[in-house]
């Protein structure tokens, strides 16, 4: 592995099974000037299946990436947060760590000089610990990229997905409008977000208990508790192909079954943020909402929005362990 180069901004891309898209993500960073700021790029391949490692190695060798890109070809899948932590730990060993760290999904590409826009914003606002870019879908429309923290009310309303109830609980809904202007929010999408190094250091980065999902929500919740602000800055724009690596998408009506680690992460987050009894209340609210969605969908003769096997999986991996009836397992 080559020596680290001094940089003001370090970009981290954690790849799993999307090598061709990951190469484009790297190239999109290299294609911009970043206001003259020194930028280096770190690509972690999380033991992807197939030939991802060789694709990335070949791109590094023949595409002129040079010392500006460091590859981490791992022999195990660390998940998103731990994959980023792997690089953060290396960066912390530098005589002078970067001033900022930008996380970019492997299935995302810079649409403008987003790094310069976010870095300038953070420099101008000393209380900002992280700032998220606008996420553009493949059709060029804004996708939701700014959010509120989950609550009991949002768990019920979001899973029920019934218009009159959603309007009543509007101020509790997790997803904020896609056309949101620049403003402070609870958390932003981890697909394209810049952190102040000082904030990452104080928060100790991602919680390694998470494998995938909710880890950025947890990190920004902890940043908030430490006094750092999170902002949504839509002038910075990134194109993103949601779910390319995980096949978990929020924008489609017919959803595939969610992986077990989604339920595990839901449970871990709510235990850490609400405690056992608060998490249990959120779980009951969510399960009640999905049950109501099944009933309403049946009465309206429309397909349910619930992922396949959702209620059984949620009961087994979340509700029963919270109630002390059984331990989680992978069966």
User: Which helix (H) or strand (E) element contains residue 100?
Assistant: strand 100-104
Map tokens 């990452």 to a residue. 200
Give the model's confidence band at 242: pLDDT under 50 very low, under 70 low, under 90 confident, else very high. low
Torsion of CA 1, 45, 149, 317, to 10 degrees: -130
Residue 193 shares a structural domain with residue 283: no
Residue 141 shares a structural domain with residue 272: no
Residue 291 shares a structural domain with residue 193: no
pLDDT confidence of residue 306: 79
- CA–CA distance, 44 with 52 (Å, rounded to integer): 11
Could you tell me what percent of the chain has a pLDDT over 90? 78
Q: Judge residue 267's burial from the number of C-beta atoms within 10 Å of its C-beta, 0-12 exposed, 13-18 middle, 19 or more buried.
A: buried
Residue 110 shares a structural domain with residue 139: yes
**pLDDT single digits (tens) 59-94:** 999 988 888 999 999 999 999 999 999 999 999 999
Buried b (16+ CB within 10 A) or exposed e, 292-312: bbbebbeeeeeebbbbeebbe
Report if residue 169 sits inside a domain.
no
Give the model's confidence band at 252: pLDDT under 50 very low, under 70 low, under 90 confident, else very high. very low
Report if residue 15 sits inside a domain.
yes
Report if residue 37 sits inside a domain.
yes
Give the model's confidence band at 330: pLDDT under 50 very low, under 70 low, under 90 confident, else very high. very low
Domain count, the chain: 2
Residue 218 shares a structural domain with residue 311: no
Map tokens 């790297």 to a residue. 26
> Dihedral sign, CA of 164, 165, 169, 172?
negative
Of the candidates 94, 89, 91, 100, the residue with the CA atom closest to the CA atom of residue 128:
100
pLDDT confidence of residue 253: 45
Q: Which of 61-65, 98-102, 205-209, 215-219 has the lowest mean pLDDT?
A: 61-65
Of the candidates 230, 259, 232, the residue with the CA atom closest to the CA atom of residue 243:
259
Give the model's confidence band at 11: pLDDT under 50 very low, under 70 low, under 90 confident, else very high. very high
Give the model's confidence band at 326: pLDDT under 50 very low, under 70 low, under 90 confident, else very high. low
Q: Give the residue numbers spanning the domain of 266.
A: 260-323
Residue 224 shares a structural domain with residue 276: no
Report if residue 254 sits inside a domain.
no
Identify the CATH number of the domain in which residue 26 sits.
Answer: 3.90.550.10
Residue 55 shares a structural domain with residue 130: yes
User: How remote is the C-alpha of 8 from its chain's centroid?
Assistant: 23
Average pLDDT over residues 166-183: 94
**pLDDT single digits (tens) 16-35:** 999 999 999 999 999 999 99
Residue 245 has pLDDT above 90, yes or no: no
**pLDDT single digits (tens) 109-135:** 999 999 999 999 999 999 999 999 999
Residue 228 shares a structural domain with residue 94: yes
**pLDDT single digits (tens) 274-308:** 999 999 999 999 999 988 988 888 888 888 777 88
Residue 197 shares a structural domain with residue 60: yes
Residue 317 shares a structural domain with residue 201: no
């Amino acid at each position: 592995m080559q020596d680290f180069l001094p940089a003001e901004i370090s970009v981290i891309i954690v790849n799993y099974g999307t090598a061709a898209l990951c190469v484009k993500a790297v190239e999109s960073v290299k294609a911009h000037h970043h206001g003259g700021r020194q930028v280096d790029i770190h690509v972690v391949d999380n033991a992807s299946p197939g030939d991802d490692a060789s694709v990335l190695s070949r791109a590094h060798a023949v595409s002129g990436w040079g010392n500006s890109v460091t590859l981490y070809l791992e022999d195990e899948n660390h998940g998103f947060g731990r994959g980023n932590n792997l690089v953060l730990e290396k960066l912390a060993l530098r005589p002078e760590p970067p001033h900022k760290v930008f996380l970019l999904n492997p299935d995302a590409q810079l649409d403008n000089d987003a790094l310069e826009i976010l870095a300038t914003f953070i420099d101008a606002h000393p209380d900002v610990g992280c700032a998220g870019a606008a996420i553009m879908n493949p059709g060029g429309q804004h996708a939701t990229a700014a959010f509120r923290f989950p609550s009991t009310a949002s768990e019920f309303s979001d899973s029920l997905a019934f218009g009159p109830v959603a309007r009543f609980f509007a101020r509790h809904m997790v997803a904020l409008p896609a056309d949101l202007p620049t403003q402070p929010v609870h958390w932003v999408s981890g697909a394209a977000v810049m952190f102040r190094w000082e904030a990452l250091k104080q928060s100790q980065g991602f919680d390694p208990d998470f494998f995938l999902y909710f880890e950025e929500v947890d990190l920004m919740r902890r940043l908030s508790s430490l006094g750092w602000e999170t902002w949504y800055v839509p002038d910075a724009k990134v194109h993103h192909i949601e779910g390319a690596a995980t096949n978990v998408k929020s924008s489609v009506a017919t959803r595939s079954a969610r992986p077990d680690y989604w339920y595990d992460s839901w449970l871990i987050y709510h235990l850490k943020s609400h405690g056992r009894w608060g998490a249990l209340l959120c779980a009951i609210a969510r399960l009640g909402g999905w049950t109501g969605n099944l009933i309403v969908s049946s009465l309206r003769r429309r397909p349910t929005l619930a992922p396949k096997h959702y209620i059984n999986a949620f009961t087994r991996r979340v509700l029963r362990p919270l109630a002390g009836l059984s331990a989680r397992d992978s069966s």
